[in-house]
Amino acid sequence: MTDKEIKRIALIGPESSGKTTLCRQLAGYFNTRWVPEYARSYIENLNRAYTADDILLIAKEQFKTEESLIQTANTFLFTDTEFINAKVWCEDVFGFCPGWISAKIAEKKYDLFLLTTPDLPWEKDAVRENPDRRDYFYELYLKELETRNFSCKIISGSGEERFQNAVRAVKSFL
């Protein structure tokens, strides 16, 4: 199967909304690959506050990893975040978004976005910053997807219910 035949499915949503768990579960269920969120490991190992340049580097590395893993994917490639996430973070934290990220959003349409709702309990960790702004970020992501008319399914629920909702969303996309 060529990378053109692989359907790219991006998980997007606010912090602590189950994106990584769903990516891992969906890849297992559909017997394929998933792309971990590069920002997590990068920021965990950063011994200073992150900058706009860091977000640009993170976006580039995320994309590079995605391009590498699609070569061994089967039918789908699930990605734990993508360029809209970088755009929203740049704009929120730094007040602007580098043109490179905006251009990638415009050219790199994913086949489907799974937008995770902030209906799971907040889980604090070293890189999460916004426990009280999850609804705000959810609305920003939803607005970006709707404005661009990207194919999107909203994923809610907890535990097995959330996973089954995601599986149904992917199957209905087919």
* Residues 28, 166: Cα–Cα separation, whole Å: 13
Q: Give the C-alpha separation, 29 to 160, whole Å.
A: 13
The structure's pTM equals: 0.92
pLDDT tens per residue, range 27-73: 999 999 999 998 888 888 888 888 888 988 998 999 999 999 999 99
Q: For residue 36, which phi and psi values (nearest 5 degrees)?
A: -65, 160
CA distance 145 to 140: 9
Tokens encoding 116: 């995770």
What domains does the chain contain, in order, with CATH numbers?
7-173 (3.40.50.300)
